[in-house]
Structure 1
Amino acid sequence: MKTFAALAAASLMAAPAFAGGMAEPVQKPAPVAPAPVAMPAGHDWTGGYVGAQLGYSNVNGTGGNGAIGGVHAGYLYDFGNWVAGGELAYDTSNITLGGGGKLDHVARLAVKAGPDLGNVFLYGTLGVASAKATVGGASHTDNGYFAGLGADYALNNQWTLGGEVLAHRFKNFGGTGTDLKPVTAEVKVSYHF
């Protein structure tokens, strides 16, 4: 009987040890730090490009307006936070000017610069321009200047889509006493290489 009493006492004392059963104790998972958010890589604007533009022009002071378009080529350098470069553009038009005149074409040599906003390049531009127009019944070619604003958006590493507004000034065009002031707004598409 002493053996039975000892065995019963041992069982009662061991009961709390088996209260949870044979299951593993539940452990809470260790907290996990969130992964850092990866910022999208910006577009590298450095390199040459060619493209085409199409838009609308209003020739102030002559009452002429209409479609204008052409081609462009240039080179940009990406300095990190800023982009700068140069561009040569040629636009043709068939805009009828007041007094029976006509704007035939405008060629531009520009410098452009502005902030690099990743896939967006906002810029100011200025330069020299040459135009051919019929004024006073005679064809003339004259030089002037222009300034404007633009923006390009990188669709991928090769293609950009943009827009530009330029104000041109040709004082006393071809000695005719007429000031030509074409303002152009064009959409541009460019291939970068």
Structure 2
Amino acid sequence: MTLKPLILVPFLATPALAGSIDTAPPQVAPTAPAPVVMTPDTDWTGASLGATLGYGWADADGDAEESDEGAVYGVRGYYDHDFGNYVLGGGIEYDATDIDLGDAGDLDGIARVGGRVGYDLGKTMVYGTGGYAHATTDGGSLDAGSSDGYYVGAGVETYVSDNVTLNGEVKYNEFNNFDNDDLEVNATTTTVGMNYRF
């Protein structure tokens, strides 16, 4: 018997160790991240109180041909309801001023009761507004008194903290029912305001 077969016996009896007996962990396929559900940042539902400051231009026609401009400042209170994409609201406001209308006297102030329809952009709302307006005058040779009328306008309001918003508005106001039947007054106001929302 030769030695060659005996030398090979231990190697033939040993299992092959060319590969590891441990298996590689299975590869996990990458998964897409779970969708993030976006919730509205703000809810416009609720009451608000605010103060405004701005500028106005007024023209008197008829028995008084005069135009003037001056500062406008006022207060406002609103209640809004948020329907998701749209906001409906209503409120009252008063703007005081001292615009000189010549023989018609001074335009003392404009009171308004009306509504607004807005589009909810999250922390910002753009809106249109309109309704009933009442103007009062003081002095002047025409003794113009006061007049019912209407207003239309547009604005934007945005949150700057949890309960505080800033807004800007432009309004057109028209009055033709003064004690002097021939007097007509139209006024345009631009204002900025700060509001506390409850």
Mark yes or no: TM-score above 0.5: yes
1:110 aligns with 2:114: yes
1:14 aligns with 2:19: no
Shift of 1:54: 0.8
Could you tell me which of 131, 151, 173 is aligned with 1:146?
151
Shift of 1:158: 1.4
1:31-180 equivalence runs, <5 A = 31-61=30-60, 62-99=66-103, 101-134=105-138, 136-137=140-141, 138=143, 140-171=145-176, 173-175=178-180, 177-180=182-185
Shift of 1:73: 0.7
Q: Report the residue type matching 2:10 in the other structure.
A: L
Q: Report the residue type matching 1:48 in the other structure.
A: A
Q: Report the residue type matching 1:115 in the other structure.
A: Y
Distance 1:7 1:17 in 2: 19
* Contact 2:42 2:122 (8 Å CA) reproduced: yes
Q: Name 1:182's counterpart in structure 2.
A: 187
Q: CA RMSD in A?
A: 2.6
TM-score by length of 2: 0.82
Distance 1:156 1:68 in 2: 26
1:192 aligns with 2:194: no
* Contact 1:48 1:75 (8 Å CA) reproduced: yes
Q: Deviations over 1:142-187 (max 9, x none)?
A: 2211111112112344111111111000115331623111101111
Give the fraction of aligned pairs with identical amino acids, expressed as a percent: 36
Question: 3-state DSSP class of the match of 2:18?
Answer: helix
Count of residues paired in the alignment: 189
The unaligned stretches of length 5 or more in structure 1 are none
TM-score by length of 1: 0.83
Distance 1:77 1:28 in 2: 53
* Contact 1:173 1:180 (8 Å CA) reproduced: no
1:10/1:60 CA distance change after superposition, 3 Å: farther
Q: Deviations over 1:96-122 (max 9, x none)?
A: 234583221111111112322322222
